[in-house]
Each structure stands twice: as C-alpha cells, then as structure tokens.
Structure 1
Amino acid sequence: MRTSISDKALRQLIEREATRAGFAAVAVTRPDTIPLAPARLAQFLGEGLHGSMAWMAETLERRAAPSVLWPEVRSIVVLAMNYGPGEDPRELQARPDRAAISVYARNRDYHDVMKGRLKEIAGKIVARAGGDVKVFVDTAPVMEKPLAEAAGLGWQGKHTNLVSREFGSWLFLGTIFTTAELAPDAPEIDRCGSCRACLDACPTDAFPAPYRLDARRCISYLTIENKGPIPHEFRDKIGNRIYGCDDCLAACPWNKFARAASEAKLAARDDLREPRLAELLALDDAAFRTLFSGSPVKRIGRDRFVRNVLIAAGNSADPALAEPCRALLSDPSPLVRGTAVWALSRLLPEAALSALAQRALKAESSADVVAEWHTALAIREAKQAQA
C-alpha cells in the first residue's frame, strides 16, 4: 500500500540513499520508453552476432520489454556506479610480460558490490512508499543501456556502451523496478557526432558499422564468453589481454571529463593491475580459485583463463615463457594443451618445435590438440619456405 510520502520526497530519498551507497548518478524512466530496443535486439540475434550466447535468444521476449519481465512495474530507477581508472589501461599493452585484465574485473565482482546496495535502496523505497520492487544487475534479462539512455544518464555510443558527459564510458549500471509512480527524467541525446575513435581502436574490427557490435570478433567475448579454442585469426590481435578488452572504452574522448573511481567503494584489487604472465601460467584449479575469489574472472574457470594467458604468452616474444608453456603440454585439459602448442610455436626455434612435436604427438589423444600441432608445424614450414 502506498503511504503518504510525496513524489518529490520519494525522489529525494532515492537520490540521498544512492549517494550514500556510492552511486555516481541516478535517474528515472518508465517501462515503455525503449520501443526501438526489441527490433534492434531481434536483428542482432537474427544475424547471429551474439555468437554462442544462447541465453540472449532464450530471454528475447522478457529482455525486449520491462513490462513483459514484470507487468506490475510503473517506474524504473536506473543507477550508475563509476569505475573509471586513474590511468589509460591501454598503456599496459606495452609490457608484454604482464597480463592486461579489463578494468572492471580488477575490482570485486560488481554484481555483488551493487546488488546489496540496490537492495538497501529498494528497501527504503518500500518502507516509505509501500508497493513492491525488484532489483536487477546485469545478469537478469534487462536492457540497462537503453533504459539508462531513456533516463538521461548518457547515450549508447558507437561502441554500443553507455557514454556519459560526466563519467565517459566507465559506468556500471543497475536498476530498481518499482510499482511507485515517479516522474521520469528527460532522455539524453546522442553526442558522438562524427567521432569514430572507439570503432578505430578495436583490434579485431568487431564493429561492422557504428552502433553495431559483432560479438564473435570482440576480445571480451573471445576471452570470456567463448568456451572453446580462440580462432587463429584473432590470436595475435589479442596481445596480452587475458580477460576482456578496454580499447573501445578507453578511446572515447568523453573520458577526459571522467573522474577516477574510488577504489575503496569498488574493493579494488592491486594484485590484478598488472600480474606477471609467468605466475598466471602456473595456476592450477585450486590456486586459480583462491586468486580470483570474489572476482568476476572466477566465473570463466581455470582452463579458459589459462587458455587466455597462453595466447598472451605466445604474443609476448619472451623465450623465458617457453618453459612454463611447455609444462602445460601435459595439462589434463585439451583446451589448455592445444593453446600451449600455439604459444610454443611462437616462442621456440624451428628445430626445438619440431623435436617437441614428435614426442608430444606420440602421447596426444585429443584430435583437437593434434590438429593444433599440425597447423603450427604447417605455418612454420610455410614461413621457412618464404624466408
């Protein structure tokens, strides 16, 4: 039941509690303010640009319209948390012996950080205004970015992420669905103009056109969502990015107005700023789980993570990494063994690679790993012939 609190007082309460909880911005929209989103999402899925993320198609109907997800919703409170770095994360690419982890993942899992705080704010709304609420942070079928644009927090840039005049491209988003009737804020307009810095910054050309992303070519997708081997055409382009990619975000000129986030609010992890590849290659499952406890990195599992580290090792041109890569040829995971083959093909001289292949192929039972060996040797032979 709705209590006697005025809409103005309720809005002031929400803004006050949001600030107290560490959110950088808060705004309100209605559930019917993203009418173009369903068709755009359907086109994205219809063209297969989502890759193996089948859950997007499975939740299409609920994702496309907030009122389908929850028919009782009357207002949507969109909250943004700043996670802007104090430096350009692309600078780490000049240190190939180190691993580049996406800025957002260098902190405690933002789902955990934000959800508890959103629930506190939602509880205050119910206590003062009655009614019902639901809280969502990314994992539910909610289109946060179009809703944030409709609420006026920013606009979806050409890299498809939210851009803010105050915080650049560095915002986490969460929503509170409520049955309370709140006055909506004015939507933001697109301020990208003719700029295409984010598109040009992408190492793998993952944007077939402005405002359109082919996830299958995106380094974030390849290193996080993709469960199998990383396609050969993208391996050298990944560089030392072992979890996600910040290039399109970091290239946005609006970042010049952004403020560095409070590391205390995000529970930042200094040990994940620039870890050494050699140390990450040595991680077994137990050590991986310990290192990434409370981190979003933990969700991809040790095998996929080490796969990514091996790609970075192969791109490092550091012969000192050959030995830890060689040790992974006997790893229980075919995914790890196959990627170790590729890394070694980049780090070892021709004679050493050929001798190692002869021994390894005798013991290898995985057809996929055998194929990696044959591909690596064929590529080496072709290069030798051209020399």
Structure 2
Amino acid sequence: MVNAAASLGARLAEEARAQGFAVCGIAPAAHDAERSARLAQWVAEGHHGTMEWMARRLAERAAPQGLWPAARSVIALGMSYAPAHDPLALEGARAHGRISVYAQARDYHDVVKKRLKALARWLVAEAPGAEVKVFVDTAPVMEKPLGEAAGIGWQGKHTNLVSPSHGSWLFLGAIYTTLDLAPSAPQRDQCGSCRACLDACPTAAFPAPYRLDARRCISYLTIEHKGPVDEALRPLLGNRIYGCDDCLAVCPWNKFASQAQAMREFLPRAELVAPRLAELLALDDAGFRQLFSGSPIKRIGRDRFIRNCLYAAGNSGDRALVPQVEALTADPDEVVAEAARWALARLRRDP
C-alpha cells in the first residue's frame, strides 16, 4: 500500500511539472498543533489588521480537516513567476508607480486554478473514487505553512515560502484529497543568519524574524486596507501603488530563480511595468476597469487604487502633478479626497 502511494506520488509530481508547476509536494491533512498555535497567536496579537476573515474562520484555516473532514492529504504546488527585470529598478523613479511583479501580468488565480483543475482530473482518473478540492487564495487555506509541511520550501524570515531551486517567486495552490498519499520530506530552513529581507522592509513590518505585522506591510496597506493609511506610514510607501516586492527581491535564494521557469501567462504587460502616475491619476471608474481587465488589481477598485496613486504623487516631489491632485480633492470618495489633500500639501511644501 505504501509503495503504491509512493508510486502515485511520484507520477503526480511528474504530471504537475507537465502542467507547469515548478514544485510539488505532499503533506498530511491532519491537524498540526504547532501550526495552529502560530496562527492563533498571530490573530490574537492583531497582526492580521482588518482582515477579519482570518479570525472568522480560524478553525477551518488552522487545519485542512477543519475545512474538509474527509481530507487525508494535501498536495501543495507552486508555479514560478520569476521576473526578467529587477523589481527594485523603479525605486527612484518617482514619476512612475511601482506595481508588484505578480500583478503585472494576467490574474494568477485564473491561470493557477485552471492548471490545478487539470491536475486534479488526472489524479481522479489515476485513482478512481478519489475526491478532490482545489484552492488558490479562495478559501481558508494556509498555503505557505502547508507548502512547508509538504517540503516544497520553507517559510523564510519574511514569512514567504522559499524554494532552494526557485527562490520566492512562486504562486501557491493546493489540492485537498481523500487519498492517503505518501508525504514528502520537509525542507530544512536555510535562512541562516541572513536578515536581508528584514532590513529591506521600508515600514519595519517584521517585529521579529518569521513574524509579520500586516498592519505595517505595504502589500496589506495598498491592497487589503480599505480606509486611509496612517499618515506616519504614507511617506514610507514611496511610489509603491500596488503591493511591494522588496523583501522578496533581496532574498539571496532568488539567484536560483530563472525567468525561463515562469509561465508565459505571467509575462508582464508593458503598460504595467513602469506606469506614469500622471496617466493613472486620470483614471475614472470605466478607465480603471478597462486598464485592469483580467488583472488582480481590478479587485481593489478604482477608489482604493487612486488613493494609492495619490500617496505616491505626494511622495514624488513632482509639481507637474499638482493640477491633477488638486482636482481629486473634490472626488466623491472621501478617502480619495483626503489622500488628494494630503498629497497636495506635500507637493506645495516641497521645494
């Protein structure tokens, strides 16, 4: 039985590679006390910010069997989106907005889920009677801890998964199944004494190695956070208008990640690599929806996106933006209007 499970696992890994996944591993679906305790502590400390859903479905998130009691194994998968360009190249280009690498291409949810479903169909054909469920950020699933348990990498000091072969540029997905598959060997944490990711964080979002306070994380602030950003943090956003790659970009393990490993679907759209703030600030709702059709950016909506662009404008020192920023002080959305007033004051104050 063990040999049969191991054989199926090996064939599964081969099929996963054929479907475009860079890494594939298997973990038990049973409750893990340590993993559950870490999640509960993170939420208890308020480090999840306004992401109430993290606390609301804590039991389901803590263990795969909490979400689906029939699950016996978790197949953890990662798809590379390693960039061809330096994610930090626009750091000083203040007339331009910086969009996280993962959001410069097609929405990864659609791409990864399509491949997960194909792999799940293959698995059911190979093991008749097996039941499966596939997940890509759409359910209370802890992809990173499960990926670590499945041996596809380890959670680094920046809390993201690190693969020794593919670095940190991985979209993660999971297949829960009723099959008892042979678990993969876990990866050894190889961060060592390195703290490059911790030191690179513009907002000091890591209170300690392996711990993230989302309330200070630029990815959280520009994507998940709905209201005004704390004024003390706004200057630290720089020209980041959607997400942040700094802690990933400086990770030494990314030297093993090659853009050639990435899926064609994740090639960046030219207009999103270095967008000009002046053009983005002119977007109305229809223009926003058109520009970001098929992009993960679309889900945050025009108002939150323009809020982010206004913070970047305020940090730019570019007085040519004053007329556009001033016009947005009358925006119907008060969060946008307040961000415009803040940006306008900054631009008028800067020499």
Task: Please give the range of the TM-score, normalised by the shorter of the 2 chains.
Answer: over 0.9
The corresponding residue for 1:347 is: 347
* Comparing 300-309 and 132-141, the one that deviates more: 132-141
Distance in 2 between the 1:17 and 1:98 partners? 41
Unaligned runs of 5+ in 2: none
The corresponding residue for 2:61 is: 63
Answer whether contact 2:31 2:65 (CA < 8 A) is retained: no
Distance in 1 between the 2:331 and 2:269 partners? 28
Shift of residue 348 of structure 1?
1.8
Unaligned runs of 5+ in 1: 351-382
Answer whether contact 1:34 1:150 (CA < 8 A) is retained: no
Distance in 2 between the 1:33 and 1:149 partners? 15
The corresponding residue for 1:375 is: none
1:31-70 pair list within 5 angstroms: 31-32=29-30, 34-70=32-68
Q: In structure 1, the residue corresponding to 2:233 is in which secondary structure?
A: helix
The corresponding residue for 1:273 is: 273
Shift of residue 11 of structure 1?
2.6
The corresponding residue for 1:221 is: 220
Q: Report which of the two has the higher share of helix.
A: 1
The corresponding residue for 1:319 is: 319
Shift of residue 12 of structure 1?
4.1
- Larger relative contact order (C-alpha < 8 A, sep ≥ 6)? 2
Distance in 2 between the 1:40 and 1:111 partners? 26
Q: In structure 2, the residue corresponding to 1:299 is in which secondary structure?
A: helix
Shift of residue 16 of structure 1?
3.0
Distance in 1 between the 2:263 and 2:292 partners? 17
Distance in 2 between the 1:124 and 1:153 partners? 21
- Runs ≥4 residues deviating over 6 A: none
AA aligned opposite 1:60:
L
RMSD: 1.8
- Aligned pair in 2 of structure 1 residues 349, 30: CA closer, same or farther (>3 Å)? closer
Q: In structure 2, the residue corresponding to 1:61 is in which secondary structure?
A: helix
Residues paired across the two proteins, number? 348
Q: 2:84 aligns with which of 80, 83, 86?
A: 86
Distance in 2 between the 1:19 and 1:190 partners? 24
Shift of residue 22 of structure 1?
1.2
Report Cα offsets for 1:184-206 as digits up to 9, x if no partner: 11011111111111000000011
1:183-262 pair list within 5 angstroms: 183-260=182-259, 261-262=261-262
Q: Quick check: 1:173 aligned with 2:172?
A: yes
Distance in 2 between the 1:11 and 1:47 partners? 38
Name the % identity.
60
AA aligned opposite 1:149:
E
Distance in 2 between the 1:207 and 1:70 partners? 32
Whose radius of gyration is greater, 1 or 2? Answer: 1
TM-score by length of 2: 0.95
Answer whether contact 1:34 1:147 (CA < 8 A) is retained: no
Report Cα offsets for 1:168-221 as digits up to 9, x if no partner: 111111111111121111011111111111000000011111111110011111
Distance in 1 between the 2:341 and 2:265 partners? 41
The corresponding residue for 1:161 is: 160
The corresponding residue for 1:306 is: 306
Report Cα offsets for 1:87-134 as digits up to 9, x if no partner: 221111111111100111111111111111101110111112021101
Distance in 2 between the 1:242 and 1:287 partners? 17
